[in-house]
Amino acid sequence: MSASSLATYRFQTRRDDFSMQVSCDQDPKFWFRLEESQGEDIITDFFLGGFDTAVGGDLLTMCYKKIGRTPAAHLVFRDILVSRPADPAAAATEQGRLEGYTKSMLADYGRAIRMSRIVHRRDKLDLMIDTA
């Protein structure tokens, strides 16, 4: 699937008191949720559903455009692993995947990743990305 083929899908946006969400009519497993916070974007959900991972960056870019937001200088992907206990190899794989999507998205804004790190928050792992 190419990025241009995303135009054939219908994406819906919603807002509640805490967040903005994007879903896809044709793929109910696709889901993006961003919590608004001062100085950072907290992405609590980014599931590609049936979409090919090759368009993950394009989907992340599209989500930001759909909600009318420019990515903050500090991005937080919350709870990046579903299973417990966290496997270091799985965490590194997920970090690489999300960094790739973020790098692609930031390129559309003329920006780049400055630093990325995994942070333990209680029994969960968050990916923190600082942009330049």
Query: Please, what are the domains in the chain?
Result: 3-131 (3.40.630)
pTM of the model: 0.91
- Confirm if 71 and 109 have CB atoms less than 8 A apart: yes
Q: Is residue 3 pLDDT above 90, yes or no?
A: no
For residue 66, the model assigns a pLDDT of 96
Query: Residues 65-74: pLDDT tens digits?
Result: 999 999 999 9
Interatomic CA distance for residues 5 and 97, integer angstroms: 21
Q: List C-alpha distances in Å: 41 to 88, 92, 96.
A: 25, 21, 19
- Confirm if 71 and 26 have CB atoms less than 8 A apart: no
Q: What is the residue whose two structure tokens read 């920006």?
A: 111
